Amino acid sequence: MGVSVPIPTETWSGKIREVTLGALPADGGTRGKTVTAGGETTLPFLHFEGQIPHPPAVAVEVMDQPPKEWSPILLQAWGNVVSDPAAWAKKAEEVGADIIALSLDSAHPERGNTGAKEARAVVRQVLKATTLPLIIYGPGQADKDNEVLVAAAEEAAGERVALGNCEDKNYRTIVAAALANNQLVVARTPIDVNLCKQLNILISDMRLDLTRVLADPTTGALGYGLEYTYSVIERLKLAALAGDGMTQQPMIVTVGYEAWRAKETRVNEGVPAEWGDWDKRSRLWEAMTATAFIEAGANIVVTRHPATVSVIKRTISELMSAAS
């Protein structure tokens, strides 16, 4: 009395673009390894219906100055290295990071107002301290982003770093710097499929090849908008696999930044007993956010807690194993 159960595979006509961060000496850089994101021809980890040539990568955030508003849990976990971006990058590499996400936070007008000169110095230091590919984030204020990201792009010439963030309000200068210095960009849009496509088109119109663009759909952490990001990632992935060329960029999510803004990770006084142990729930807050997005289709997750790295990488490694 056999029941015939066909394997329900979908046929996809598109694939995710491959975007490579980092350049080896043979290609004009000084990185020890490169990271390629994307390339998959099916939904996340469905090995029975397509190819998944590259596992999602874990980027770890390193700030260019000791962070003042970070959760004590994070500060405790990193210890002294937070005073030295080079040491911090080294330690991040030691705990298993695939990519270093250097945040030029001191350039923010309210948090130091440093400029191009300081940016160059810290980029130089971090490039020397680690052999991992880099993402370099500006402070998130348009004029300063333009100033320091241009400087960073020049300083890191040849290294295929990703400059973040390009947004519809402010992308031209950053894209121009990427063009001039053979870098990549992170294009961020506010949880909207059409706006994501639009920004990709605008960037591509400036002649930056789409193999140099990562798409950031904007991240909402667990309990703080996760489902919006989750669904926009799924929608973009489905559109990409159905052949829409402007939704095929590998996606990057800023899990660490968002998860560690949550009340659950920042404080423990006056919170319900049912929230449990502060350290454990905070780390899970970040890890669970990351896991959800990896299952949805994120190609790069940017995280903060040193212990989260190995947990997420183990999860990724398990998901990548096609053996049943």
Partner 1 sequence: MGLSGLAIYKLLPKTNCKECGFPTCLAFAMKLAALQAELSACPYVSEEAKAALDAASAPPIRLVTVGSGERKIEAGNETVLFRHEKTFYHQPGVFYRLRDDESAEAFASKVKAIAAYKVERVGISMGASGLAIENKSGNAQTFGACVAQAVAAGLPVILISDSPAALEAGLKAAQGMSPLIYAAKDGNWEGLASLAIQYKVPLAVRSTGNLSALAEMTQKLDGKGVKDIVLDPGARGWSDSLTAFTQLRRLALKKNLRALGFPIIAFPGEGAVDEEDEALRAAQCVAKYVGYVVLDHFDSASLYPLLTLRQNIYTDPQKPIQVSPGLYEIGKPGPQSPLLVTTNFSLTYFSVAGEVEGSGIPAWLLIADAEGMSVLTAWAAGKFDADRIAKSINTTGVLNKINHKKIIIPGYVASISGELEEALPGWQVLVGPREAIGIPSFLRVYVQSA
Where do contacts with partner 1 occur on this chain (CB under 8 A)?
Answer: 1-8, 10, 43, 45-48, 69, 110, 220, 222-228, 230-231, 234-235, 238, 261-264, 266-267, 272-277, 280-281, 283-285, 287-288, 291-292, 295-296, 311, 314-315, 318-324
Nearest to partner 1 of 46, 206 (CB atom)? 46
- CB atoms near residue 178 (< 10 Å): 27
Nearest to partner 1 of 212, 305 (CB atom)? 305
Least distance (Å) from partner 1 to the CB of residue 222?
6
Backbone angles phi, psi at 184, to 5 degrees: -115, 170
Least distance (Å) from partner 1 to the CB of residue 203?
23
Least distance (Å) from partner 1 to the CB of residue 155?
28
Q: Any alpha helices (H) in 60-188, and if so which ranges?
A: 72-78, 85-94, 116-129, 142-155, 172-181
Least distance (Å) from partner 1 to the CB of residue 291?
5
- Beta 184-188 vs 162-166: how paired, if at all? parallel
Nearest to partner 1 of 94, 275 (CB atom)? 275
Least distance (Å) from partner 1 to the CB of residue 87?
27
Cβ-Cβ contacts under 8 Å for 24 (sequence gap 6 or more): 31, 32, 33, 34
Nearest to partner 1 of 60, 161 (CB atom)? 60
State which amino acid sits at residue 85.
P
Through-space distance between the first and last CA atoms of the chain, rounded to whole angstroms: 26
Closest by Cα among 28, 3, 25 to 183: 28
Nearest to partner 1 of 96, 225 (CB atom)? 225
Q: How many residues does the chain have?
A: 324
Q: DSSP secondary structure string, 49-78?
A: GS---S--EEEEEEESS--SSS-HHHHHHH
Nearest to partner 1 of 185, 311 (CB atom)? 311
Q: What is the distance between the alpha carbons of residues 274 and 9, in angstroms, rounded to a whole number? A: 42
Nearest to partner 1 of 158, 225 (CB atom)? 225
Least distance (Å) from partner 1 to the CB of residue 292?
6
- CB atoms near residue 211 (< 10 Å): 13
Least distance (Å) from partner 1 to the CB of residue 187?
18
